[in-house]
Amino acid sequence: MTCLLIKDIPPELHRKLKEAAVRSHRSMTRQALVLLKQALSTPFPSAKLLPDPLKPATPLASVDVVAVIRENRDADQLNLSK
C-alpha cells in the first residue's frame, strides 16, 4: 500500500478532520481517505462552470487564424504604446 505524508496542516483543518473522524467512528487516516475519495470521485466544479468553446460560423483556415492573432496582438501593442 502506498503512503502519503501531509505536512503543515493548519490547526483548524486538523481539528475539523479529527472531529469528523470521531463523529464517523474512524481513525483520522481512514477519515482523510474517505474524504479524498469522495472529493475525487465527483467531477471538478470548474468543468460545469466553463462555457462551451466558441465555434466560428464558418471553418477558418490556419492562415486565417494566424492573421487574426497577429491583428489582435498588433492592436494590443499599439494600445500599450499610447
Kindly report, residue by residue over 5-33, the tens digit of the pLDDT. Answer: 999 999 999 999 999 999 999 999 999 99
Across the chain, which distance is largest between two alpha carbons, in Å?
Answer: 66
Is position 61 within any domain?
yes
Is position 27 within any domain?
yes
Name the residue range of residue 72's domain: 11-44+55-81
pLDDT digits (tens, 9 = 90+) for 31-80: 999 999 998 997 766 666 667 777 777 777 878 888 888 888 888 776 76
Q: pTM of the full predicted structure?
A: 0.52
Is position 75 within any domain?
yes
- Grid coordinates in use for 38? 469522495
Give the pLDDT of residue 46. 63
Nearest to 21 by CA among 10, 12, 31: 31
- Grid coordinates in use for 47? 468543468
Alpha-carbon distance of 74 to 46, in angstroms, equals: 32
Give the pLDDT of residue 81. 65
Domain count, the chain: 1
Is position 50 within any domain?
no
Is position 62 within any domain?
yes
Is position 34 within any domain?
yes
Which residues neighbour 17 within 8 Å (Cβ) at sequence distance 6 or greater?
9, 28, 31, 32, 35
